[in-house]
């Protein structure tokens, strides 16, 4: 059976006009698909356009060119279907680096996690809501003693757990997680990534997971997109990408991963990649599902 297509970016471009003479091409012709239950990881240096993709998918920005499709229907541009946009808003949730900091400081954990029900005006009886609330808290590793706590009484990791519980309240089909761990201590990062992976496997939602750290991307993603200057320069199934990186930029990223093996360390050469080398525009398929920008 064909897997259900959840979201698609088609030749997405997002330009920011700064002045008459200066336009930032934050996203410059990006295409990918995420199917049901799939995790697409996006990695690339700061400023390469990852968050802009997340915001454009979420409908916060209208693309300069190209299209976003949700469940095969356009949700951006002139052809956008209003109903489908609404459906997307219900079925897509965002988790950001600072989403834990953005929790309303005057609301208790209980109110925060239940908020999506109120916003979407979903009718649900109190007992069922309460049961879902407790279920979600336990899924993110918090017990009912947290219900009456306020965000400032929680650690950063606990706040992100609350933000994740809230994002799951309406059984989303897609989670967009934009560097959801980068503001945390390393040990907490590992806990939260493992939590994301477990929840994704249990609940089967699709995910766009953005991270700086290649080892995190490798751990959580089915497919990996490597971004450089607003483009995905290489896109491949995770194992394929890490075993057979083809683009020089991907290779240079991989060669920089710290491998704590002294023999390997001594023989390792960091491959330099000329960031100014001209990139073509053709996506060539080298092996099934493995695309490289030439």
Ligand X SMILES: Nc1ncnc2c1ncn2[C@@H]1O[C@H](COP(=O)(O)OP(=O)(O)OP(=O)(O)O)[C@@H](O)[C@H]1O
**Residues at the interface with ligand X (CB under 6 A):** 16, 24, 26, 44, 46-52
Candidates 32, 42, 26, 25; CA nearest to 6 is 32
Cβ nearer to ligand X, comparing 46 with 123: 46
The rounded radius of gyration (Å) of the Cα atoms in the chain is 20
Say which entry of Mg ion, ligand X, none residue 161 contacts (CB below 5 to 8 A, set by partner kind).
Answer: none
Cβ nearer to ligand X, comparing 139 with 252: 252
Closest approach of Cβ 253 to ligand X, in Å? 13
Cβ nearer to ligand X, comparing 71 with 225: 225
Say which entry of Mg ion, ligand X, none residue 206 contacts (CB below 5 to 8 A, set by partner kind).
Answer: none
- Taking the CA of residue 258 as centre, how many other CA atoms within 13 Å lie in the half-sphere pointing to its CB? 3
Which of 26, 30, 42, 51 binds Mg ion (CB under 5 A)? It is: 51
Cβ nearer to Mg ion, comparing 52 with 76: 52
Closest approach of Cβ 49 to ligand X, in Å? 4
Closest approach of Cβ 109 to ligand X, in Å? 28
Say which entry of ligand X, Mg ion, none residue 16 contacts (CB below 5 to 8 A, set by partner kind).
Answer: ligand X
Closest approach of Cβ 209 to ligand X, in Å? 13
Choose the binding region for Mg ion from 45-53, 58-66, 100-108, 163-171 (rule: CB under 5 A): 45-53
Closest approach of Cβ 55 to ligand X, in Å? 8
Closest approach of Cβ 59 to ligand X, in Å? 15
Closest approach of Cβ 116 to ligand X, in Å? 25
Candidates 160, 116, 169, 161; CA nearest to 140 is 161
Say which entry of ligand X, Mg ion, none residue 48 contacts (CB below 5 to 8 A, set by partner kind).
Answer: ligand X
Cβ nearer to ligand X, comparing 52 with 158: 52
Candidates 59, 4, 62, 13; CA nearest to 33 is 4
Cβ nearer to ligand X, comparing 112 with 181: 181
Say which entry of ligand X, Mg ion, none residue 66 contacts (CB below 5 to 8 A, set by partner kind).
Answer: none
Cβ nearer to ligand X, comparing 140 with 217: 217
């Amino acid at each position: 059976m064909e897997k259900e297509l959840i979201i698609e970016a088609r030749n997405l471009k997002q330009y920011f006009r700064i002045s008459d003479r200066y336009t930032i091409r934050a996203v410059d012709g990006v295409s990918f698909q995420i199917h049901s239950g799939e995790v697409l990881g996006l990695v690339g240096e700061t400023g390469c356009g990852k968050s802009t993709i997340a915001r454009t998918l979420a409908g916060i920005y209208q693309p300069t060119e190209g299209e976003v499709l949700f469940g095969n229907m356009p949700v951006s541009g002139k052809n956008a279907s209003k109903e489908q946009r609404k459906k997307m808003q219900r079925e897509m949730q965002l988790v950001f680096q600072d989403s834990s900091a953005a929790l309303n400081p005057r609301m208790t954990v209980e109110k925060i996690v239940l908020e999506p029900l109120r916003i979407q005006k979903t009718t649900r009886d109190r007992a069922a809501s309460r049961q879902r609330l407790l279920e979600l808290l336990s899924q993110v590793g918090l017990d009912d003693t947290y219900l009456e706590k306020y965000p400032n009484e929680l650690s950063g990791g606990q706040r992100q757990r609350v933000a994740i519980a809230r994002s799951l309240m309406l059984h989303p089909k897609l989670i967009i997680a934009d560097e959801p761990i980068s503001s945390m201590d390393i040990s907490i990062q590992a806990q939260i990534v493992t939590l994301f992976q477990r929840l994704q496997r249990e609940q089967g939602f699709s995910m766009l997971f953005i991270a700086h750290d290649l080892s995190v991307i490798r751990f959580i993603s089915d497919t990996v997109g490597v971004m450089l200057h607003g483009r995905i320069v290489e896109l491949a199934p995770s194992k394929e990408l890490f075993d057979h990186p083809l683009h020089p930029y991907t290779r240079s990223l991989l060669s920089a991963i710290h491998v704590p093996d002294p023999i390997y360390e001594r023989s390792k050469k960091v491959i330099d990649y000329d960031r100014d080398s001209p990139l073509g525009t053709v996506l060539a398929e080298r092996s099934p599902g493995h695309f490289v920008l030439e």
